[in-house]
Chains A and B, each alone.
Chain A
Amino acid sequence: MDITMVYIGTALALVLVGLGGVLLKRNILKMVLALDIVETGVNLLLIGIGYTPGREAPIVDKTSFFADRAKETVNAANLVDPVPQALVLTAIVIGLGTTALMLSYVIRLYAQKKTLDIREFGRLKW
């Protein structure tokens, strides 16, 4: 089996676990964490998509990037796709921001109602 499929399979499993958590757990703290798991899954998926077995990480050093230093040409064939990795870095940072904000919501909500049950926060409806 292709190693890429392992990445993608694990990633999808993480997404499903996370979604299950968001839907099934009543505790808003756990919902936030579940959402974080979903995000991790998606990030892994992005990495998996960009990965080509047998190639190296797209980190610029003398051996991989400028294979022939005299000609200064890029030997891209040795590297995996760098774009998804850049995207994942960004997505992780953004995920950090949203998670932090959601956690501060959880803190404020708990301070307000002394409970973490999502069912208690259904005053606004219809």
Chain B
Amino acid sequence: MVDPILLIAVPLGIAFLLPLVDRLGRAASRWVHFLTLVFYTGAAASWALALHKGTVAAKDIITASWPPPVGINLHMGLAEAVILSLAGITGICAALYLVPREEKPSIRSIVLQVLLLAGTAGLTLTRDIFNMFVFLEITSISTFAIVLLGKEKKALEAGFKYMILGGIASVLLLLGIAFLYKTTGTLNMADMAAKLPALFTGGAAAALVFLFVCMVIELKGFPLNGPAIDLYEGVEPGVMALIVGTTLNAVLFAFWKILPLFGGAAWEGVIMTSGMATFVLGNLFATRQKKVRRMLGYSSSAQVGLLVFMLPLLRNHVVTLAALGLLLLNHTLAKASLLWFTGIHEEEEIGGWRGAFANNPLLRILFGASVLAIAGLPPFPGFWGKWYALAGMARSPYAWWILPLLLGSLLEFVYYFRWLKESARGVEPARSEVVPFSLSAPPAIFTAIGLVLGIRALYGPALGVSSQAWLWMWAGGILLAAAFLPERVQAGLSFLAVLLGSILLYSSGALALHTLSGFFTSLVVIGALVFSLARLGIPALHRNYHGLFLLLAGSLLIVLKTDSLLGFFAGWELMTWTSYFLVRQGKKGPAASYLYILFSGAAGFLVLGGLMTAVAGGAVTISGLGALRGNTALWAWILLAAGLAVKVGSWGAHIWAPESYSEAPDVFTPFLSGVISKIPVFAFLAVAAKIALPGVTTTLGTLDPAWVLGWIGGLTAFGMTLLAVFQDDMKKLLAYSSLGQVGYIVLGFAMMSSLGWTAALYHSLNHLLFKGLLFVTIAGVIYRTGTRSLSDLGGLITRMPFSFFAVLIGIITLSGVPPLSGFAGKWLLYQAGIQKGWYLLTALAMFASILAFPYLFKLIHSIFLGQLKREHREIREAPKAVVLSQWILIAGIMLLSVAPGTVLVPIQEAVKAFFGKAAFTTATATELATDLGYFHAMGVMSMVVVLAVIVLAGILFFLPKHTTKVKQLDIVYSGEVPPPPEEIQYAQNFFRPFERAYSPVLLPRVKAFWKSFSESVLSLAEAGRRLYTGDGQTYILYALGVVLFLVLFIFPAPASSSSKAPGGKTGYIVPVPRKARPAEVGVQAPRPGILPGGKAK
């Protein structure tokens, strides 16, 4: 192994030699620079690997042959090795990136970059507090000298303000060191931490305040982060990326090393509060930020705040080193990538990002991936880090801190995804940007590192990701990589992959209907197969469609199959972002998908909160949820149910759904409505219900939470149906209708009875069939006519007869009348309601069901009946693939209509496993009997067919012999001026009187609520960020204010300077490790044990 001291000595020596080397030519010095970096990275990485594997032990290096505490000692452990490897890789990438960006390249920049790495190594390795000060100054001098060399004019003032504040910070540090040295007589960190409690004085108390404020300034803590954020805005992003990857981590680690000095509950509270305040407020202020780099500055400050917040938790063994390491790694990788992107696309304002990297698909994917990584979505390391950290916190007395943490994370979604929204491809042709290799390589390398680490974590055996799911996801990944292939080839390959995957799933028995997961897997397979088939006829708009679709399907298989809570949530979040990108591909997709990801993100955090409550109760697996009792069970259930209710678009949180459904690509909407909206239902049944059955019969006061959920479902069914009636956009009409239908499913689930669940499951399948049928048919109509507006259509029955028939079958099924399959579902649901005694709710559901007739009538009439428009006279039937998929779906509906028992019998078996009671008294394929009723599907069907034949025959028989068909404009005008043809279109102002009658209920109150909510959050952010006035002296005043506040109010000196370790609130308390692990105090500072990195436990 390389002696760690060389990590400091070699770059330091090279830095001084480089000006000489430069005499041989710039190429020579670049080579020397590169080789130094390679040596540095290689040495650090070999230490990291060896320490991780355990082949070498952590090493203490004693300098000048004086053992500590007299001599200065360095320490090389796993954390140090990882931080330095990261610094080395950042150094290489930054060097690559900065070469073409320097205006007048000079050797000075290279020298300073090497010096910065030497400083980083020293700061990370040293265990001597004064040595730490020296290296801190070395890094900050080299940093600000690099800034001074830059071409950005704004960088100067930012750099100066930061230097002045940094000067205050180093004065504070020096003062702190002086007082601590006076108190303890040593400069060795571990020695000092060991001696301090016994010798504690007022001077030492003040010293700790000074040290802390210095660290707050260096780590960009609130409210002292003003100049640091200016730096992000003003300085060349390549330089900022270098700082993020080197100094920032090293300073954070330095804080960790001196953390043992800060003993006691009061300090723990101050550090954690300061970190969390920085995290939440930084993210809040960033939401108002229009300047991209400044936004990244706020975000960096926030992320580091989160890490600072976790340091005391790491010391208490609440959070593992692995979790913190993953978060740090993720932040470095993603933030550096994003900073590099802001340098490639040099637009200051977020508005200038429209169509960024439009003709560079690789950069677009990398950019999207970096945003996913920074938002903490899987498979990137941050996701795993956050989960492990939260799981640790949930089981500790610090559980309440999870709340602000999730809030801050949601705020991150707000501004990062707004950036993605703004960067969507515009209508205008994109500017062609030629990006040299050395600019695009660094973000590619960093994203690849994150991806590899993340995918490795996803392979963890405890997560239960099946090989089937991997197959789908790898197929998706390969298709994404092969996005250059023609659309047709991709569609074909994607269909083949789906077919192969489905066959494999079938042959492995994963589609068994009598298990919950098998039932929902069947839904996914049916949806994927049929809609992939339809897509063969209607090309996707975007080249990444097919790859993302397979990824999405794979993530659904994870959710459906895994038993691990972490695996479940990983699949859930994968589903969230893959579907987000698919929705985004529609014409107006960016805006709609932004709303989609905000609500999905909120739903995700609610689900996460619920899962964390479960983890706090000791659960690790889904099947272990049943062991939860009492309040833990209740709150886990409530949070999960709330998250799932948002995700299905229940009333109150539904505003995202119509937009997303209607703006998503036409070929994707059927999958979104038919399959994705069922996944929360599955989670209801498989996850929430595990808790519910033993636990939630206890009530929330006198209120039964299931009853509340039932009303939410019922109101959703009613309200969405009502809104559907007045839509002119046919996709929006069907979107509202979908929400209403899922409302019925939620209602059925909430009943918590075997009949209710049977109804809910059956309706899930049925809804997939008929809504899929309607959406696919509509997609064909839109593909042919190019319009979504009902009032632009009419009379298409002659041009598209198959589509007409498909819609006819679809709406009859949806309306729930015999003889088609919709009836059995409604019939079961009403019975379940009556059995449960929820009469009013059942009546409401029934009324909502009747309310569906008007919009169904409107749908079929406006499109297919009435007058054919002139411009539609030449229209052809939908593409063959679409018609074929229509027929498959119709066949499914017919099967269910005649023999509902083929599905209901297995469903009954699945439900029986939960309730121990069958829903039916007797059930065969065609005959069903419950406690309340009897239904013979075959009989009803035969009867209807016979009646229909008689009626049709009668019509044909009595039809007049000679009829003339009138066209739209065959009207006699008695001297009047005829109105324009579009106004005499049947669908124009359809149901206008009806709308007037309902107008009081239809006011967009929910939308108004969310609008004012978001406005008040934004105005809060606007008011808050005024704190950063831009005046350098104000910032210094803040710093001194924080010092005074802490000295006067939080840590007043002990009454007499000789009093030893008072146990009171303000004094010094010897830290008590929470677990049985003894504090290792001695030559080395207390360090946590090494935990396996990124592996699930």
Q: In the complex, are the beta carbons of B134 and A90 less than 8 A apart? A: yes
Q: In the complex, are the beta carbons of A45 and B187 less than 8 A apart? A: no
Q: In the complex, are the beta carbons of A123 and B157 less than 8 A apart? A: yes
Asked, given contacts A42-B171, A98-B163, A101-B141, whether A49 binds B148 with beta carbons under 8 Å apart, the answer is no
Q: In the complex, are the beta carbons of A125 and B1029 less than 8 A apart? A: yes
Q: In the complex, are the beta carbons of A23 and B157 less than 8 A apart? A: no
Asked, given contacts A35-B164, A121-B160, A122-B1030, whether A46 binds B178 with beta carbons under 8 Å apart, the answer is yes
Determine the chain A residues whose CB is within 8 A of the CB of B1029 once the complex forms.
122, 125
Q: In the complex, are the beta carbons of B1028 and A126 less than 8 A apart? A: yes
Q: In the complex, are the beta carbons of A31 and B144 less than 8 A apart? A: no
Interface of A is mostly: helix
Q: In the complex, are the beta carbons of A83 and B171 less than 8 A apart? A: no
Number of residues on chain B facing chain A (CB within 8 A): 47
Q: In the complex, are the beta carbons of B137 and A97 less than 8 A apart? A: yes
B158 interface residue (CB < 8 Å to A)? yes
Q: In the complex, are the beta carbons of B154 and A124 less than 8 A apart? A: yes
A80 interface residue (CB < 8 Å to B)? no
Number of residues on chain A facing chain B (CB within 8 A): 39
B922 interface residue (CB < 8 Å to A)? no
Please encode chain B, from 134 to 152, with 1 for each CB lying within 8 Å of some chain A CB and 0 for all others: 1001001100110010000
Q: In the complex, are the beta carbons of B141 and A121 less than 8 A apart? A: no
Please encode chain A, from 12 to 51, with 1 for each CB lying within 8 Å of some chain B CB and 0 for all others: 0001000100110010100110010011001001100100
Residues of B763-813 contacting chain A, CB below 8 A = none
Q: What's the minimum C-beta distance from A124 to chain B, rounded to whole angstroms?
A: 4
Q: In the complex, are the beta carbons of B148 and A105 less than 8 A apart? A: yes
Interface centre among B164, B168, B179 (most CB of A within 10 A): B164
Q: In the complex, are the beta carbons of A22 and B168 less than 8 A apart? A: yes
Interface 9-residue window, one of B438-446, B525-533, B833-841, B1031-1039: B1031-1039
B230 interface residue (CB < 8 Å to A)? yes
Q: In the complex, are the beta carbons of A39 and B163 less than 8 A apart? A: no
Asked, given contacts A105-B160, A112-B153, whether A123 binds B1030 with beta carbons under 8 Å apart, the answer is yes
- Identify A42's interface contact among B148, B158, B174, B1033, CB under 8 A: B174
A118 interface residue (CB < 8 Å to B)? yes
Q: In the complex, are the beta carbons of B178 and A101 less than 8 A apart? A: no
Determine the chain B residues whose CB is within 8 A of the CB of A49 once the complex forms.
178-179, 181-182
* Residue in chain B with minimal CB distance to A41: B171
Q: In the complex, are the beta carbons of B1030 and A126 less than 8 A apart? A: yes
* Residue in chain A with minimal CB distance to B187: A83
Determine the chain A residues whose CB is within 8 A of the CB of B387 once the complex forms.
none
Q: How far is the CA of A112 from the CA of B163 in the complex (A)?
A: 18
Interface centre among B153, B174, B1029, B1036 (most CB of A within 10 A): B174
Q: In the complex, are the beta carbons of B1028 and A125 less than 8 A apart? A: yes
Please encode chain A, from 95 to 124, with 1 for each CB lying within 8 Å of some chain B CB and 0 for all others: 001100110111011001000001101111
Q: How far is the CA of A90 from the CA of B131 in the complex (A)?
A: 10
Q: In the complex, are the beta carbons of A23 and B1037 less than 8 A apart? A: yes
Q: In the complex, are the beta carbons of B1030 and A124 less than 8 A apart? A: yes
- Identify A31's interface contact among B145, B164, B1028, CB under 8 A: B164
B130 interface residue (CB < 8 Å to A)? yes
Q: What's the minimum C-beta distance from A126 to chain B, rounded to whole angstroms?
A: 5
B283 interface residue (CB < 8 Å to A)? no
Q: How far is the CA of A20 from the CA of B144 in the complex (A)?
A: 25
A91 interface residue (CB < 8 Å to B)? yes
A87 interface residue (CB < 8 Å to B)? yes
Q: In the complex, are the beta carbons of B174 and A46 less than 8 A apart? A: yes
Q: How far is the CA of A27 from the CA of B177 in the complex (A)?
A: 30
Q: What's the minimum C-beta distance from B638 to chain A, rounded to whole angstroms?
A: 39
Q: How far is the CA of A126 from the CA of B137 in the complex (A)?
A: 28
Q: In the complex, are the beta carbons of B1031 and A119 less than 8 A apart? A: yes
B175 interface residue (CB < 8 Å to A)? yes
A74 interface residue (CB < 8 Å to B)? no
Going nearest first, the 8 A-B pairs with the smallest beta carbon separation are: A125-B1030, A122-B1030, A121-B157, A124-B230, A35-B167, A94-B137, A105-B160, A49-B182
Extra contacts, 4 of them, besides A94-B141, A102-B167, A123-B157 (Cβ < 8 A), are A15-B171, A83-B187, A124-B1030, A125-B226
Q: Which residues of A contact B (CB under 8 A)?
A: 15, 19, 22-23, 26, 28, 31-32, 35, 38-39, 42, 45-46, 49, 83-84, 87, 90-91, 94, 97-98, 101-102, 104-106, 108-109, 112, 118-119, 121-126
